[in-house]
Structure 1
Amino acid sequence: MDIGPTKTLRKEGLPVNEDLERKANEIEEEIIKKEILPILTKNIEPALQPVQRELVLVVDYIPGQPISVHLSRKRNFTADMPDAKEIVVDPEVAHGQRDSKSIDGEDKIHRGPARDMAVFFPDGTIIAEKTAVDTLMATVKKIGVAQVRQVVEEYNLKFCKVPVISNRRDTKYGKSQKDLGNGWLLITHSNNLMKKALIEKVSQVLNLGIKVTLNE
């Protein structure tokens, strides 16, 4: 799929730089996540119910030509495709009764006095926005959404059962999920101690040397 400027540049025989190519890829992936995956889940998944064996369906899309679908019984065939990327939507979260002992569940978040949060990077960068939510968002973007998401997945980091960075708008806490761009959402339903702990965990895993302070 060629979109926008990359299509025009290629038609004119002009080079496409890496940054433009990356942005085009991100836009296409967002279209797949938001537009195509919901259709597949709603229509294709029920139609596959009679099929009892595992398989992989590959859609071959060339603009202006009919779509073709290839079937493979080899689940790990993408190992031979270095640029293959799996695009999935996080599962919907089932919210139940609150459990005061649960860390990631429907536990009540005890909020203390209003605080300011500041994040210090080894390169001298200081992030201290007006609110802790804005500071958290700016910090995630500074580190890199993809890198933070990787840590979230690996260590199953959640606020109120919802992955801290998710590509699904939660039915209950959707209003507290802030848009990070490219289909990613950051849940901010947490107190500042939780936000601080999250940043410190990401820093520890990625060896970033970040320091976080909370000011009364």
Structure 2
Amino acid sequence: MKFNWFNTKKRNQNQPYFWQKYSEKFEKKTPENIDEIKFVVFDTEATGFDFEKDRILSIGAVRVQNREIKISENFEVYLEQERFNPETVKIHGIIQNEKFEKVEELEALKLFLAYIENSVLVAHHAGFDLKMVNKALKRHNLPKLKNKFLDTAYLYKKTRIATNFIDPNKMYSLDDIAEDYNIEAIDRHTATGDAFITALIFMKLLGKIKSKGKLPLRTY
């Protein structure tokens, strides 16, 4: 099938300017060398687990490049809410009237897209976070995220599958892996805290992969 670059460009021009700027970043191919790839490790906290009814409460992220966590370049945004689920407060601690500076959902998406650009996204059990963001994009008539991604839960299993110290059928939580790698779970169940813990886990995983090895990058 022949790729029609002109039609793709035309479709992008029908989208808002911020989406066009985001899309343009993908004209450059992702480097093959791990040390040259720009990663963004991120996490979302949400009102629940229903992709149709529930909404994102906050997004936290941190950059990783050349095997370094760029702590000073972290990202955090809290979203205004109409939906409130008291059950999930027990997990993330974000209450309806918490005095965070909050933005509307579309503004949060604009900020997040400007931050991630064409980076490879990294998350723990990434399917949930990616789907929450994609559902939010869909509510504003925008396409899905274009970024390639990695799942630390999958990578963890992949790096240990040759040993007898892993259950291939188990869903390993962030706490499970953090404990295995002796990583202190600080600010657990906040988007920024979980993103940072995931970044530390990701650094450990990168240490087990050769610098020129290929990562199992996927698109959602």
TM-score (ref. length: structure 1)? 0.26
TM-score (ref. length: structure 2)? 0.25
Structure with the greater relative contact order (CA < 8 A, sep ≥ 6): 1 or 2? 2
